[in-house]
Amino acid sequence: MELIGEMEESGFRDRQWLARRGDRFVQLSELLYRVAEEVDGGSTHEEMAERLTRSTDWAFTAENVRQIAQSKLVPLGILAPEDGEAQGVRSGGKGASPLGVNARKELLGPGVIDPIMGALQGLFHPFALVPILAVAALAQAWAFLAHGVGGALREVIYAPGLILVVLGILLVSGVVHEFGHAAALRYGGGKVRGMGAGLYLVYPVLYTDTTDAYRLGRWAKVRTDLGGFYFHLIFALGLVCLYWATGGEFLLLAVLMIDMGILYQCLPFVRFDGYWALADLTGIPDFFSQMGAFLRSVIPLKRWRGARLPELKPWVKAVFVLYVATTIPVLALLLYFLITRLPVTVAVAWHSLTLLAGEFSLALGVGDLVGMASSGLQALILSLQLLGIVYLLYALGRTLTVVLLRRLGRLRDGTAVGARAE
């Protein structure tokens, strides 16, 4: 367990503090944090109470210290109980989450990432960032306003094999996007814990573990959130330059799809980059993980037991209310369509897989490598989406089951912040 310090520029009215246990951050009130600071493994409750009384505005007794430690800090996993190891953070489990990256597989560890990010972080210095963004904006304006992408669409239609090249370019751009998050975090003073692949909602995704951003200031967090977009624009600029050098129109189609991906990532309704940027601008660590505690704090029903969020600043509370009022109906509607259309979706997907298997067999018979690759790739993408749907429904069912089993949960004075992947 490591005590990090005060949360910088948070959206809470009172000061909040952070502790880290393993790969999880836990948000604490100042009272809990001060008690945790005094735990050294050798002091008695009486000695800790005496030091706390001298160093804070509170008057402590030995019984106060013992009660806070056993009833608050031990359940949060900050301290180990007297008869065993520290408990896990209750709300920070690593089980499947319907709105988290599931089935994670780390592909790059800190040992590989750190040297690369050490070289790339300089791109976020204002002397580099401002001119690069200006040139990227001019290149985008030329591509879409002066030149257009009609030629790119025609080239791909008449040479279908180029779509495989475009997909390969988009995969590389996804890796570059993740490097943008990592380099931004490194520039702000944080450290990336890993990069990998997983399933988010119903799609396969790449992710970067930027959990260390929780201890940074507001703008360092926002820079981390938007760093992927910045590197995407740099990559798109490179594609435009490559088009000027080679004349390959299909490269501009890749630029268009990258830009559409940026707009899609700006949606704040799920944990895309736009979601994290909005959360960090307001100073709320994570809308979804703290939504229940927030609702309990603004609708204080006696029978609604569980943690309540500390008091928020007025403008932050207004943003959170608006976010809840907008996001819950949107997600409920999307879930309704997913469930009601599930039989049709599965039937169509199975039919498509059957057709793709036939196309693959025909291509194999005539030695058409492009046809084999195309049908095989389409079948792989479709299968991954079906797997994603199954995993999403499993995660949703598991979450609902856990919520029902925890209806009698005790009140907490600390909130698990958890981990973030971008």
Share of the chain above pLDDT 90, in %: 37
Q: What are the residues facing 4 on neighbouring strands? A: none
Please, where are the H alpha helices in 188-249?
218-246
Sign of CA dihedral 218, 224, 228, 233: positive
Residue entry with tokens 């507001």 = 218
pLDDT digits (tens, 9 = 90+) for 263-292: 999 999 888 999 999 999 999 888 988 888
Asked if 227 contacts 277 with a C-beta cutoff of 8 angstroms, the reply is no
Q: How much is the pLDDT for 90? A: 33
Confidence class for position 86, pLDDT limits 50, 70, 90: very low
Average pLDDT over the chain reads 85
pLDDT of residue 113: 93
| CATH annotation of 2-88 | 3.90.930
Burial environment of residue 52 by CB neighbours within 10 A (0 to 12, 13 to 18, 19 or more): buried
Residues 126-167: pLDDT tens digits?
Answer: 999 999 999 999 999 999 999 988 988 988 888 878 888 999
Q: Which tens digits make up the pLDDT trace of 178-224? A: 999 999 999 999 999 899 998 888 778 999 999 888 888 899 999 99
**Cβ atoms of 290 and 310 closer than 8 Å:** no
User: Within a 13 Å sphere around the CA of 60, how many CA atoms are in the beta-carbon half?
Assistant: 25
Q: How much of the chain exceeds pLDDT 70, in percent?
A: 90
**Side chain identity, residue 253:** L
Q: Which strand (E) or helix (H) includes residue 104?
A: strand 102-108
pLDDT at 421: 62
How high is the pLDDT of residue 4?
80
Q: How far is CA 154 from CA 161, 247, 248, 257, in A?
A: 13, 14, 12, 15
Question: Each residue of 383-416: pLDDT tens digit?
Answer: 887 887 887 888 788 877 876 776 655 444 455 5
Cβ-contact 289, 417 below 8 angstroms: yes
Dihedral, CA of residue 61, residue 64, residue 69 and residue 72, to nearest 10: -160
Model confidence at 176: pLDDT above 90: yes
For the chain, the maximum distance between any two Cα atoms, rounded to a whole number of angstroms, is 85
pLDDT at 70: 84
pLDDT of 83 reads 54
Q: Which long-range contacts (CB under 8 A, 24 or more apart) does 370-376 make?
A: 370/160, 370/161, 370/164, 373/164, 374/160, 374/161, 374/163, 374/164
Q: What are the extents of the domains in the chain?
A: 2-88, 97-340+407-422
Selection from 46, 35, 37 nearest residue 4 by Cα: 37
Pairing of strands 414-418, 2-6: unpaired
